Amino acid sequence: MPIKEQFARIWLITMLVTYFAYFVAVVVVGETTTLRQIGMFAATVVVQVIVIGVASAVMALRHKGGPKADERDHMIDQRATRVAYQLLLCAMILVGCLMPFNNSGWRIFHAAVLSIAIAEIVRHGLIVSMYRRGVDG
């Protein structure tokens, strides 16, 4: 399994678990103080950074001196990034241009975070999918 696919799998699983837990906590807790909202988000980001950092270090040590990214790896990354960017762009237009008329504060923040999380999940999911399908051009 290529290292890029391994990294995408780890990133995908980490994003799914951390943001699922974050949004469940947001729904369960409901309206709360700003400090508590910031704390929940910070905890989510810290867990992500730790898991991704440790996994990246382990993969780097395990694949030291391995093959570098080739044209296929770059093509897969570009395709997945293109799709995720379009999704993110549409979501941010909704969040930034339409939501301020009916919502404010934390609702807009959570919608923006959800948009970013979905775009990243789609990106890494597509990377894994393209490696599994054997996309070659």
Instruction: Write down the pTM of the prediction.
Output: 0.88
Instruction: Report which of 2, 3, 15 is spatially closest to residue 125, judged by C-alpha positions.
Output: 15
Per-residue pLDDT of the chain (137 residues; tens, 9 = 90+): 778 888 999 999 999 999 999 999 999 998 889 999 999 999 999 999 999 999 989 988 887 877 777 888 899 999 999 999 999 999 999 999 999 999 888 999 999 999 999 999 999 999 999 999 887 65
Cα(36)–Cα(32) distance, integer angstroms: 7
Q: Compute the residue count for the chain.
A: 137
Q: Dig out the tokens for 111 from the structure.
A: 């919608």
What letter would DSSP give residue 99? G
Cα(127)–Cα(69) distance, integer angstroms: 14
Residue spans of beta strands (DSSP E) within 1-137: none
